[in-house]
């Protein structure tokens, strides 16, 4: 049989496959989410996220130093606020001595070159578990009042030394407000990584376990996006870019690869994607039951996210992936 073209020639050996690979993962691609709690010498496994931990700040510093030594250059901070600090004003979120603010300072002191990104939303601080200020009579989330509080929160993160704030709240108009506030207060070097296309997804469950931040009533569908929508995501992203976002994010990742590609085609700023807790838990659970090879699933999943167009990937597999890539 004569063939003009044999496509299998470039698949014949591992060396050839590597040579012609279109997508390559490196440690530079990863943002490592970390969960921080009060106390000392605390390392608590998150029940729904096997082998992932909530740590006190002293233990977090050890973890961040290890990540830096591995080549991971960026961390995304989430804090578990004590219940007695939660209310419907969010005042703890901008406390200069709050856990987030202390964490930023401590990590930057310990590993100055580490890129520290910080979650900006009210769900860890809300008695209702929502991302914004609640009107309890109507059960609604107040957009403009929330943006005012989140602006104070963002400025407190900048003052503590954050490199990027990462607003995950999905309130309207917040990126432009944050950018103006940062500029007016002299924080001209602080970037914004906006959760621009954040969907109202069922894949966030384990994350809410990690921070005890599940909504106390209803859901988040009035401010997070409908999973059925694609064009709306591009609209959200373009608005955030026009308001001053330096990086835009799609969340979740694996079920939204089409959105990542659409966003990548629409903007010139870097695109990030969040490989979320439910996606992590699915791989871990299936591997534990022997239904798939965890290591192969991790690399294949992350490669698919980058192939779709993500420049950066926030993933709970960051350390595992680097170890696999270096093996």
The answer to whether residue 246 is domain-embedded is yes
Q: Does any domain span residue 187? A: yes
Angle subtended by helix axes 57-70 and 318-326, to nearest 10: 30
The residue annotated as part of the active site, out of 86, 108, 220, 251, is 251
5 inside domain: no
Q: Give me the catalytic one of 86, 108, 198, 306.
A: 198
Q: CA-based angle 8:13:15, to the nearest 5?
A: 125
Q: What gap in Å lies between CA 288 and CA 282, rounded to an integer?
A: 10
Number of domains in the chain: 1
- Residue 288 has what DSSP assignment? H
The pair of structure tokens assigned to 198 is: 């954040």
pTM: 0.95
Integer Cα distance of 171 and 224 in angstroms: 9
Would residue 181 count as lying in a domain? yes
Cβ partners under 8 Å of residue 283, min gap 6: 292, 294, 297, 298, 301, 317
Within-domain flag for 49 = yes
Domain residue limits at 269: 23-219+230-326
Q: How far apart are the first and last CA of the chain?
A: 40
CATH number at residue 282: 3.20.20.70
- The answer to whether residue 32 is domain-embedded is yes
How open is the CA angle 157-146-60, to the nearest 5 degrees?
30
Tens digit of each residue's pLDDT, the chain (327 residues): 889 999 999 999 999 999 999 999 999 999 999 999 999 999 999 989 999 999 999 999 999 999 999 999 999 999 999 999 999 999 999 999 999 999 999 999 999 999 999 999 999 999 998 999 999 989 899 999 999 999 999 999 999 999 999 999 999 999 999 999 999 999 999 999 999 999 999 999 888 777 666 677 778 999 999 999 999 999 999 999 999 999 999 999 999 999 999 999 999 999 999 999 999 999 999 999 999 999 999 999 999 999 999 999 999 999 999 999 998
Structural contact between residues 118 and 167, judged by C-beta atoms closer than 8 angstroms? no
Q: Is 251 a catalytic residue?
A: yes
The answer as to whether 41 is a domain residue is yes
Q: Specify whether 91 is catalytic.
A: no
Q: Confirm whether 195 is domain-assigned.
A: yes
């Amino acid at each position: 049989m004569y063939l003009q073209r044999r496509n299998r020639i470039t698949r014949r050996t591992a060396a050839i496959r590597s040579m012609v690979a279109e997508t390559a993962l490196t440690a530079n691609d990863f943002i490592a989410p970390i969960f921080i709690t009060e106390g000392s010498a605390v390392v608590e496994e998150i029940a729904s996220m096997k082998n992932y931990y909530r740590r006190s700040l002293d233990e977090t510093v050890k973890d961040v130093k290890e990540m830096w030594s591995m080549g991971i250059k960026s961390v995304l901070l989430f804090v578990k606020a004590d219940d007695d600090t939660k209310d419907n004003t969010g005042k703890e979120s901008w406390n200069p001595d709050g856990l987030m603010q202390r964490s930023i300072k401590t990590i930057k002191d310990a590993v100055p070159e580490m890129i520290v990104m910080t979650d900006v939303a009210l769900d860890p601080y809300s008695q209702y578990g929502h991302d914004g200020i609640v009107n309890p009579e109507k059960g609604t989330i107040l957009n403009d009042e929330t943006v005012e509080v989140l602006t104070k929160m963002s400025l407190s993160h900048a003052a503590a030394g954050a490199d990027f704030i990462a607003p995950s709240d999905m309130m309207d108009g917040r990126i432009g407000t944050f950018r103006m506030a940062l500029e007016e207060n002299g924080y001209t070097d602080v970037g914004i990584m906006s959760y621009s296309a954040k969907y109202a997804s069922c894949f966030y469950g384990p994350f809410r376990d990690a921070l005890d931040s599940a909504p106390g009533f209803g859901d988040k569908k009035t401010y997070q996006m409908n999973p059925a929508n694609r064009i709306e995501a591009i609209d959200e992203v373009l608005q955030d870019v026009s308001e001053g976002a330096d990086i835009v994010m799609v969340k979740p990742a694996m079920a939204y690869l089409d959105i990542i590609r659409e966003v990548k085609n629409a903007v010139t700023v870097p695109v990030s994607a969040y490989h979320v807790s439910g996606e992590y838990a699915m791989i871990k659970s299936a591997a534990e039951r022997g239904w798939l090879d965890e290591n192969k699933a991790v690399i294949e999943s992350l490669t698919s996210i980058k192939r779709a167009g993500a420049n950066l990937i926030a993933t709970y597999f960051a350390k595992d992936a680097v170890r696999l890539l270096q093996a």
